[in-house]
Chain A
Amino acid sequence: PPTPRPHACLTGGPVPRRLFASYPQTKTYFPHFDLHPGSAHLRTHGAKVVAALGDAVKSIDNISGALAKLSELHAYVLRVDPVNFKLLSHCLLVTVASHFPADFTADAHTAWDKFLSIVSCILTEKYR
């Protein structure tokens, strides 16, 4: 299972900052946002994403159930191209790795990578 207590390092914006810096094309999904670091938009949205991941962790044996509504939202409303889930997942991993260098062993890395790719799969599974 993923290492505990990552939420502190995930809120506050390092993840979107990394995403937008490395993959500027991802900003196209947020034309209505103030994307300056620390903006209220980013903080609120970041908190939502982290909370959803937390839900998935709590229901790790039934992520499909936990994220069913979010899956529909992504399929019918947000329609974020599936490639972007890999980019976001990667930035999440980099953030966690930089905050917990000793804990983020190869096994932990594997578990997280697997977990995030399952989450990504579930969020895109209703696309067609």
Chain B
Amino acid sequence: MVHFTAEEKAAVVNLWARVNVELVGGEVLGRLLVVYPWTQRFFDNFGNLSSESAIMGNPKVKAHGKKVLTSFGNAVKHMDDLRDIFAELSELHCDKMHVDPENFRLLGNVILIVLATHFSKEFTPQVQAAWQKLTTAVANALAHKYH
């Protein structure tokens, strides 16, 4: 189980309070699909994903991105219980969605980069490190039930 120090928790919670989940969620998922086009394999029914502008403007991408990031917000609220919180989602991603856990790592890193564009100088090495730890822990939690 991952242990977060008080400083790490504060760094995460403090930033998260100012994240526009709807906006950032869409950006994060959009960037994943643009930067790593092979991740589009999971979204055949999303319509037009043919260019950066198509992807970033795609309403299904925005909606799903919001859903994913909202779930991530749950992780922020339960940083000490990630395995339990994501147990069901882990099974779902394995059994129903057949998602390679490597994608969780890719998504986690994209979250960090988008946060960096939004928070700029405030996204210091220490803040980044706390968020790296969280995204890694979430990725691991989501992979935990794989079989």
Task: Please name all residues of chain B whose beta carbon is closer than 8 Å to the beta carbon of A44 when the two chains form the complex.
Answer: none
Task: Please name all residues of chain A whose beta carbon is closer than 8 Å to the beta carbon of B34 when the two chains form the complex.
Answer: 106-107, 109-110
A106 touches B35 (CB 8 A): yes
| Residue interface bits A92-105, CB-to-B below 8 A is 1, else 0 | 01110111010011
B52 touches A94 (CB 8 A): no
Q: Which residue of A lies closest to B27 (CB)?
A: A106
**B65 an interface residue at 8 Å Cβ cutoff?**
no
Give chain A's interface residues, CB within 8 Å of chain B.
14, 17-18, 21-23, 90, 93-95, 97-99, 101, 104-107, 109-110, 113
Which one of B30, B55, B56, B116 contacts A94 once the chains associate, using CB atoms below 8 Å? Answer: B116
Q: Tell me, in angstroms, the Cα distance from A101 to B122 when the chains sit together.
A: 12
Which one of B113, B123, B129 contacts A93 once the chains associate, using CB atoms below 8 Å? Answer: B113
Q: Tell me, in angstroms, the Cα distance from A95 to B35 when the chains sit together.
A: 17
Q: Which residue of A lies closest to B30 (CB)?
A: A106
Chain B contact residues, majority secondary structure: helix
Q: Tell me, in angstroms, the Cα distance from A18 to B132 when the chains sit together.
A: 10
Task: Please name all residues of chain B whose beta carbon is closer than 8 Å to the beta carbon of A14 when the two chains form the complex.
Answer: 125
Task: Please name all residues of chain B whose beta carbon is closer than 8 Å to the beta carbon of A105 when the two chains form the complex.
Answer: 52
Task: Please name all residues of chain A whose beta carbon is closer than 8 Å to the beta carbon of B30 when the two chains form the complex.
Answer: 106
CB distance from B42 to the nearest CB of A (A): 18
Task: Please name all residues of chain B whose beta carbon is closer than 8 Å to the beta carbon of A107 when the two chains form the complex.
Answer: 34, 52
| Residue interface bits B112-123, CB-to-A below 8 A is 1, else 0 | 111011111101
Task: Please name all residues of chain A whose beta carbon is closer than 8 Å to the beta carbon of B112 when the two chains form the complex.
Answer: 90, 94
Task: Please name all residues of chain A whose beta carbon is closer than 8 Å to the beta carbon of B70 when the two chains form the complex.
Answer: none
26 contacts between A and B (CB under 8 A): A14-B125, A17-B125, A18-B125, A18-B129, A21-B128, A22-B125, A22-B129, A22-B133, A23-B132, A93-B113, A94-B128, A97-B113, A97-B117, A98-B121, A98-B123, A101-B117, A101-B118, A101-B120, A104-B113, A106-B31, A106-B34, A106-B55, A107-B52, A109-B34, A109-B113, A110-B52
Task: Please name all residues of chain B whose beta carbon is closer than 8 Å to the beta carbon of A99 when the two chains form the complex.
Answer: 120
A94-B116, A101-B120, A107-B52 given; 18 more Cβ-contact pairs under 8 Å = A21-B125, A21-B129, A22-B125, A22-B129, A22-B132, A22-B133, A23-B132, A97-B114, A97-B116, A98-B121, A105-B52, A106-B30, A106-B31, A106-B56, A109-B35, A110-B34, A110-B35, A110-B52
